[in-house]
Structure 1
């Protein structure tokens, strides 16, 4: 039987005085009103259709002005105008149609003049990012799809590295189209992630579906200089700006590693419900002086903003589709997310004029005159009236009234609540727990429904009851109650028992059990009769 939940205890000044009423938490304490949250909320979102219902696998902003955006969708590598334009519109020579199959991982050179990308056939191509021309270079060194192509972000302009599903890592000299370093078994599974160190162009990192993240120095050809086990297939890796910390994404977890400290994990981010697919860096405030943040995108449709200095999530944005890629403009005014259905979500930061107009203000001689909208009084006809105060947090002086814990009822308890007595008895007999069965029977006795339930049992239910009585009727704890019940059952259902061979077998077993118990009781009485005189003599 289910137990009743204990009531909460409220201390009061005296035994006869009720506790003071709980005060509502003060407004303004919600974390969504912080300056950083207001910064992320100032991005105005819009949709940009790629024209194809295919996954937007990779996004990359050019590090040089005007910060064009490269997008890989199916067999197209599209270029969009930079963050300075009113909207990210396709360029005149976009998309780049020089792929016979799926294009992957576009990467701009540090000066933004060249763009490299991989393909499903294993070919790596280098394009002129400012002119519509055929590929400048074709790098052949992979036999399977190339999912990782990266230019070092330092002053290095003639090299890039690539990794593919053939588990091969290549470090290329783009000018001569030759591989300076080729590692045929860099991993034991697909290489799906890679990044270059922001402080050294010779140091690169790769992530694979074998759960490992490996750090490579192209000057040392003996193998990887470090390896970390992420614990899940690695989808994305990213160096943080200092170059000493590394972020890895795999499964629904993002981990921060101390590379200089030998690969020690310093934090674990469990903020997504599904696989984290992409990472990028962003800045809060001005692009040249703001605080750096780590942005994570996941198949659950969320983009989370993580402050790795204080190790906390500072903002979250929900999108209506599964996200495969995310990128943030170096200017700090555009946030782009790519989805699995070909839609690109663009968030452009509002200007001060737009923010003022949204607040109902005016602009006079270059100065912003704020004129806030008057808040409408909430009435019971408004849905928000019934949601007010739900997101507020209690202060230190508030009394929090805990909700009574819900008791999970068993199946027989639910049937008893519905007054389905026969079904409750059969249900508890099937579980064969003597304590629970006797408890339900006693509850039915209290309701004066036990004999009525026994009377309406079918042959299967009656067999369960007789089998239970045969096993437990002689137990000292239940004997007084179950023996009387067994007598009543045999008297009430005599005709049904005689007409069924299976029920007759249960009845014979019950009779044999009673005879054995009577014989045991007689033997105990004889032993007691022999021992009692001896005990009296010993007492003298």
Structure 2
């Protein structure tokens, strides 16, 4: 395609297709200026929807972080197809499942598309900027290192809760709606490294090299330690339950990965603790004996600290990442390695979409990068590579990642720069930046998606909620 085919005065034909049915527009091809960008395309869609447009904004579109965040810094009312006469909807646009972040002309040039072709462009409402919930708790006495949200698969909000792990050694349970502290349990003699939740079970690990299972009754102060998980002689750095809650994976500081059948009470692997160790001294709420549980599987999968573990959707594969720069997939039935991918930086955290069967992983790194990995095993080459599509935006160590359980494209990240960022992994730039814990040089240590919200925690001792 010659460059003369597209110039400032040229027009191209596009087909606009709504991702959401309620915003559907006529299917006819339309001619638009080849230099048109997102704001101009948004005007076109609003015109086709019959929405008023009283703004005189130009068609500029700068793709730096601040402008991109500000571009989303308004409240979109997407509850109906039509808007009031004094407002209009803002839209984002995708071509080949990637967000359009340049002019139509620029995209067609860079992808060698002829000006005579019809470009299919999908659109959807812009993401709403997260707003801080005003029901925050008082600051906790120490850093909050980990968060885990549980909600009943049937979306029964009465069975939802948020668990936090704190450097004071206590696990705390919050009502995710009101953010009130429902109960707490001082169960570790030193700082907690990780927490994970599944139904009525909460797992916690600490620098005291203890890995514990607690039982929680929703809506009550009933939180007791029931199992002490054995196998590792080092600090457990990362935890994850399988989707059905029957298995727990744990990765330790020395590269070991342990898998436990947490429903194995009464089996030979579970025994009554000695009478001298029935209850931990700090377990003031426990009224039953704590049992020991040996691992179902244990393997040294990495050379050094395992910073993230997560099960596949079918619980047949375990993914792990480590400070040894690698990401691995292991077959749980055979314990054989399926795939090992090597990066060039320490991996600090790991996340996988929960609502998708796609083998996509996200890892965080100390150089402020977030990498996306395609874990599908090619039957011909038996290899895969990572696709680093997210442009560095944080200014510090990535501490945690979390995918939206209802949308496999939405990702949130926390960093030592004190910020939380929200992403759509089809776009290289973050959708929004939240100044969550950066006051007085604070660090954001944990981030977790809830139901239509994001939770974050950090060195300021605060657990915060952000409505999305």
TM-score (norm 1): 0.45
Q: How does 1:524-539 map to 2 (within 5 A)?
A: none
1:78/1:90 contact within 8 Å kept? no
State how far apart, in whole Å, the 2-side matches of 1:46 and 1:233 are. 31
2:327 maps to 1:169: yes
2:357 maps to 1:208: no
> Displacement, 1:42?
6.8
Deviations along 1:377-406, one digit per CA (max 9) or x if unpaired, are xxxxxxxxxxxxxxxxxxxxxxxxxxxxxx
> Displacement, 1:40?
4.5
CA distance 1:215–1:44, shift in 2 (3 Å): closer
> Displacement, 1:195?
0.5
Query: Could you tell me which residue of structure 1 aligns to residue 25 of structure 2?
Result: none
Query: Could you tell me which residue of structure 2 aligns to residue 121 of structure 1?
Result: 254
Query: Could you tell me which residue of structure 2 aligns to residue 475 of structure 1?
Result: none
Query: Could you tell me which residue of structure 2 aligns to residue 264 of structure 1?
Result: 429
> Displacement, 1:141?
2.2
State how far apart, in whole Å, the 2-side matches of 1:149 and 1:249 are. 18
State how far apart, in whole Å, the 1-side matches of 2:373 and 2:179 are. 40
Q: 1:278 aligns with which of 446, 452, 456?
A: 446
> Displacement, 1:207?
0.6
Partner SS state of residue 81, structure 1: strand
Higher helix share: 1
Q: 2:197 aligns with which of 43, 61, 76?
A: 61
Deviations along 1:41-85, one digit per CA (max 9) or x if unpaired, are 472444311141x211111111xx4x3111111211111113338
2:426 maps to 1:226: no
Query: Could you tell me which residue of structure 2 aligns to residue 307 of structure 1?
Result: 467
Query: Could you tell me which residue of structure 2 aligns to residue 78 of structure 1?
Result: 212
Partner SS state of residue 135, structure 1: coil
Q: 1:193 aligns with which of 328, 333, 349?
A: 349
2:376/2:384 contact within 8 Å kept? no
State how far apart, in whole Å, the 2-side matches of 1:39 and 1:281 are. 11
2:436/2:456 contact within 8 Å kept? no
Higher radius of gyration, 1 or 2: 1
Partner SS state of residue 112, structure 1: coil
1:58/1:104 contact within 8 Å kept? yes
State how far apart, in whole Å, the 1-side matches of 2:235 and 2:134 are. 41
State how far apart, in whole Å, the 1-side matches of 2:323 and 2:332 are. 21
Query: Could you tell me which residue of structure 1 aligns to residue 374 of structure 2?
Result: 217
> Displacement, 1:39?
7.7
Q: Which runs of 5+ in 2 are unaligned?
A: 1-132, 137-174, 265-269, 271-292, 378-382
CA distance 1:103–1:91, shift in 2 (3 Å): same
State how far apart, in whole Å, the 1-side matches of 2:364 and 2:192 are. 20
Q: 2:180 aligns with which of 43, 53, 61?
A: 43
| Aligned length, in residue pairs | 257
State how far apart, in whole Å, the 1-side matches of 2:464 and 2:134 are. 14
State how far apart, in whole Å, the 1-side matches of 2:327 and 2:432 are. 28
1:163/1:169 contact within 8 Å kept? yes
TM-score (norm 2): 0.52
> Displacement, 1:219?
1.4
Q: 1:108 aligns with which of 236, 241, 249?
A: 241
Q: How does 1:81-480 map to 2 (within 5 A)?
A: 81-84=215-218, 86-92=220-226, 94-131=227-264, 132=270, 133-152=293-312, 154=313, 156-184=314-342, 186-188=343-345, 190-198=346-354, 199-219=356-376, 221-228=383-390, 229=392, 230-240=394-404, 241-250=406-415, 251-260=417-426, 262-272=427-437, 273=439, 274-283=442-451, 292-308=452-468
State how far apart, in whole Å, the 1-side matches of 2:296 and 2:335 are. 10
CA distance 1:70–1:201, shift in 2 (3 Å): farther
Query: Could you tell me which residue of structure 1 aligns to residue 51 of structure 2?
Result: none
CA distance 1:32–1:201, shift in 2 (3 Å): closer
Deviations along 1:104-131, one digit per CA (max 9) or x if unpaired, are 2111111111111001110101011122
CA distance 1:96–1:224, shift in 2 (3 Å): same
Query: Could you tell me which residue of structure 1 aligns to residue 156 of structure 2?
Result: none
Q: Which runs of 5+ in 1 are unaligned?
A: 1-30, 284-291, 309-540
2:230/2:294 contact within 8 Å kept? no
1:102/1:119 contact within 8 Å kept? yes
CA distance 1:254–1:218, shift in 2 (3 Å): same
RMSD: 2.3
Deviations along 1:349-373, one digit per CA (max 9) or x if unpaired, are xxxxxxxxxxxxxxxxxxxxxxxxx
State how far apart, in whole Å, the 2-side matches of 1:279 and 1:162 are. 19
